[in-house]
Amino acid sequence: MAYAALLSLTQTLEQILHSHDQSRILHEEKQIKSLYEKLSFLLSFLEDSTHKYNETITSLEGRIRDATYKAEDIIESNMSKPASHGVISTWFWKKISPSAFLQSKRSMDNLEQKYEGLQKVIEELDSISKDVEKMNDIEDLQPSMPDGSSKSRSSNNSTIVEFDDDLMEITQLPSKLESITVVEMEGIEDVVEMDRNDLEDLQQRNSLSATSSKFASTNKSTMVEFDDNFDQIKERLVGQSFMLKIISIVGMGGIGKTTLARNVYNDSYIVHHFDIRAWTTVSQEYNVKELLASLLNSMTDLGHKLYEMEIEDIKEKLYQKLLCNRYLIVMDDVWETNAWEEVRRLFPDTNNGSRIILTTRLSNVAVYADSSGPIHRMNFLSLEQSLTLLNKEVFGEECCPSELKGIGKTIAKQCKGLPLALVVIGGLLNKSEKTRAYWEFVAENVKSAVTRNYDDFVEILSLSYNHLPHHLRACFLYMGVFPEDYVIHVSYLIRLWVAEGFLKPIIPKSLEEVAKEYLEDLIDRNLIMVRDRTYSGELKTCSIHDLIRDLIVRKAQEEKFLHVMNQKVEISPEIIKNQRRLSIHGEIQFDVGDMYDSTVRSLLHLAGSILSIDIRFQLLRVLDALNITFKKFPIEIVQLVNLRYIALIYTGKRKIPASITKLCNLKTLIVFRRLRFGKVRILYLPSEILKMPQLRHLLVENGFLPCPSDAGNGNLQTLTGVIDFRCTKEVLGRISNLKTLGISYRYGSRTKWSIYCLENLVNLHQLETLKCYFVLEPWFHIVPLAVDLAFPPNLKKLTLEISRISWKNMSTFGSLPNLEVLKLKYFEFEDSVWKTNEGEFRKLKFLHIGCKNLEFWEFEGTHLPSLQCLSLGFCRRLKCIPSEIGEIPTLQVIALFRCDLSVVTSAYSIQKEQKDLGNDGLQVHNHKYFYKIGASFRKKILSKISDPADPVSFVPC
């Protein structure tokens, strides 16, 4: 975690150096500048590093991390307790009182100790910098590789390679095993490839540098026969097209990419269909000459002569050999676009039906190889498929005994559809006694049995982590804070990343935009799974596989990055003291007194537990305590000046104190005020809160925010849950960069809409999401919204609830050029007929209409050209859905909630009509209930803070 530590501290130092508060600078500015320069040098070294991941680099990064942590602790502890007396002469305090003098002297002594401690850290960083420079000098002296080795990724040692009839073996290895060029990676990446005897020879075969197709064809493969992946790939190999086609198989490590390629490669029909077949495994560390030689050796008998040839001669012979034949090439385990770029011109396209299969964990590699063709993405096995594979591994062709079937199903379920895990656990069960007691024990410890009984399993998954660029590693390891099977709301995750300081600013992008790019990158690397996207295509929720999470938690603890606390883990104060982050997943009570001088930066309570806010957590940056209900607002936290993220719930009557503005580093504030049984109370916010310079996200519920009288906050992006907010030009001008706004208004006998100045919302030019509720007193009917509706042109999502407008206002919505989501809930319109117009709603993808008095809808098939989901709720007077709706080419779902039977009938009629025309994609959902039921309290809260402008989740969306 050296990179994340360096990035965090350099940003803190930049803040200090640009601060006008000189008391925050330790002793002298020169020391801070010296530290900043050394950190910047090391940060550049890691960013530009092309060094291979080895013990030397690992040790160096550990030294950088530890030294940076020490410097960060010294600096931030000084920021949390500024030496207020240090700038005044000790003579003054001695004159006033002896006690004040002693207090001043202790403060000065403490400051001196910190100065000396920081100076030692600077000396350590200076020593590290010199080692880095020596390393760079040595590498600069290394000659360039004449054999076409991959740049900065090939071995600097010469390797003697000998050939026999079947395979190319390394007879002399370099001192450090730098590359596994053409190893059959089913031994390292997809164990599902191998039979039981292959496992015993894993280490021996890992020393091979290349292998021919002859060796490839000798390995047996364990495969779930009813998996349709095989048929899909085979069909693409022998399809009608005669053009050269590249078929990319993409998925996470251990999901069976190599197994699938191997089984297709060795299929008897495929063997006879192609004149030439060749297989090469590229891997992370590849040598171009060996890679090409292995391909050519698959097709010829050149043997020893290959390594005597120049690389250009090998390329020429390979090209000529392929030119006159229909060939099948498999490039297994490709990690870089450079690997493909090195060889792609050597594969001729003579319109004879030749094919190339490429397997990779990285989606960007697949797209680079062929952006026009579809990517074959490997999915996790279903429970039925998992059970079939497990039974084959344990019993072969025999049947599972009836007394073990139930336990076996539990074990298979615990593997979460990952073939590699199923094969490993199957091998363990195959060699053990097949008793119910033992299988029950394994069922309770599946992940432990997989990861601790087969080291190569961890190695396989670790390859993906080791290949991550430095800027993604902290973001990836941070996923370990979430419990198993946790559905992670993307906006929640991004706010945490921003608060933690993992993101390097990239002008002109916001930190949130940078975070989204990081997340998409991790998804493309098949390390994070997408659970749900919005209809506008944005990421909504994600998750990680349990076995990936297990790797993350172990790696994070080794890196002193994160410690997970639950009932199953013994809590050691010493371990906790050395960790930067604590994530609590159980009903745990721990003594905060054991945390004195703790370096903990983040405390996340993701399950109910007992928490004491104590000044000993003085370095805390992140406090997520939504699972704990405080009796009153915990005023102690205003002393934790390093806080950047606060999320909590309290029940007391006290309003949020104005002293919260002391938290000058705060970026996210999430506060809910509730009575027992979840009843919401008004939360009074100080007007000064909008002056907080770093605040980016303010999320409350039923919060009253007075209009600020002076300067606002240009960084504020999210403001939700406020009531009766007056949108004057002056107020909106102070929060002009707002992207998400969620507001509600109470309507009573004395209410005048004009005082809220809603027409000024058009001036929020950066606003993308707006949600506006109108809360009526019980004796009021829905009243007209007596304002001229106007919205900013960048608006993408608009939700209005409980109001009455004219249908002509729909043209106002329809004219918004970027609107993608429109939800009108519990609405009444001034007449009963809606006629859509040509040219409106050009980008609208999701439309919800909840209207009791809508009777007729006049529509033409060219209207709403981008609509994907139509949702109708409580439209009990509507006679039918226009049949022309079915003509929208993008329409995927019609969702109905408590609509008249005639509406339901018309929806199914549209679906049948489209099916008769060959469109099987249109789905119709008819539900009695409008909201999802049974979600936990935290999930409800998270849905509000993750998508504050859309807190209600529709069943099909």
Say if residue 765's pLDDT is above 90: yes
Residue 183 · residue 283 · CB < 8 Å: yes
Give which of 470, 426, 466 is closest to 446, Cα–Cα.
Answer: 426
pLDDT digits (tens, 9 = 90+) for 342-366: 899 999 999 999 999 999 999 999 9
**CA 792 to CA 704: how far, in whole Å?**
24
pLDDT at residue 80, as a whole number: 67
158-184: average pLDDT = 29
**CA 899 to CA 878: how far, in whole Å?**
8
Say if residue 81's pLDDT is above 90: no
**CA 870 to CA 897: how far, in whole Å?**
11
Alpha helices in 171-329 (DSSP H): 196-200, 202-205, 213-218, 229-237, 257-265, 268-273, 288-299, 305-308, 311-323
pLDDT at residue 452, as a whole number: 66
Say if residue 145's pLDDT is above 60: no
Q: What is 160-377's CATH topology?
A: Rossmann fold (3.40.50)
Helices (H) and strands (E) in the chain, counts: 31, 29
Helix/strand/coil for 772:
strand
pLDDT at residue 15, as a whole number: 84
pLDDT tier, 50 (very low <50, low <70, confident <90, very high otherwise): low
* CB burial of residue 705 (10 Å; 0-12, 13-18, 19+): buried
pLDDT digits (tens, 9 = 90+) for 222-249: 555 446 889 999 999 998 789 999 999 9
926-945: average pLDDT = 49
pLDDT digits (tens, 9 = 90+) for 248-262: 999 998 899 999 999
pLDDT tier, 454 (very low <50, low <70, confident <90, very high otherwise): low
Q: Checking DSSP bridges between strand 923-927 and strand 893-897, what pairing results, if any?
A: parallel
What's phi and psi for 379, nearest 5 deg? Answer: -100, 160
pLDDT tier, 327 (very low <50, low <70, confident <90, very high otherwise): very high
- Range with lowest mean pLDDT among 23-37, 245-259, 838-852: 23-37
CATH of 383-458, one of 1.10.3470, 1.10.287, 1.10.8, 3.40.190: 1.10.8
pLDDT at residue 285, as a whole number: 80
**CA 474 to CA 602: how far, in whole Å?**
14
CATH of 468-558, one of 3.40.50.2300, 1.10.10.10, 1.50.10.20, 1.20.58.100: 1.10.10.10
In angstroms, the Cα distances linking 352 to 240, 346, 374, 833 are: 10, 16, 21, 61
pLDDT at residue 300, as a whole number: 76
pLDDT at residue 199, as a whole number: 31
Helix/strand/coil for 475:
helix
> In the structure encoding, which two tokens stand for residue 435, read together?
């008793």
Cis? peptide before 951, omega within 30° of 0: no
814-836: average pLDDT = 88
- Range with lowest mean pLDDT among 145-154, 330-339, 489-498: 145-154
Higher pLDDT: 30 or 412? It is 412
Say if residue 693's pLDDT is above 60: yes
- Range with lowest mean pLDDT among 346-360, 423-437, 476-490: 423-437
Domain edges within the chain: 2-141, 160-377, 383-458, 468-558
pLDDT digits (tens, 9 = 90+) for 713-732: 789 999 999 999 988 888 88
Give which of 775, 768, 732, 770 is closest to 751, Cα–Cα.
Answer: 775
**CA 748 to CA 779: how far, in whole Å?**
9
pTM over 0.95: no
pLDDT digits (tens, 9 = 90+) for 553-584: 888 988 889 988 876 555 566 666 778 898 98
Please name every residue paired with 873 in a beta bridge, in sequence order, or none if there are none.
897
Q: Checking DSSP bridges between strand 168-172 and strand 160-163, what pairing results, if any?
A: antiparallel
**CA 195 to CA 487: how far, in whole Å?**
36
Higher pLDDT: 576 or 337? It is 337
Instruction: State the DSSP H helix or E strand holding residue 406, giving kind and residue range, or none if neither.
Output: helix 402-414
pLDDT at residue 589, as a whole number: 59
pLDDT tier, 309 (very low <50, low <70, confident <90, very high otherwise): confident
Helix/strand/coil for 421:
helix
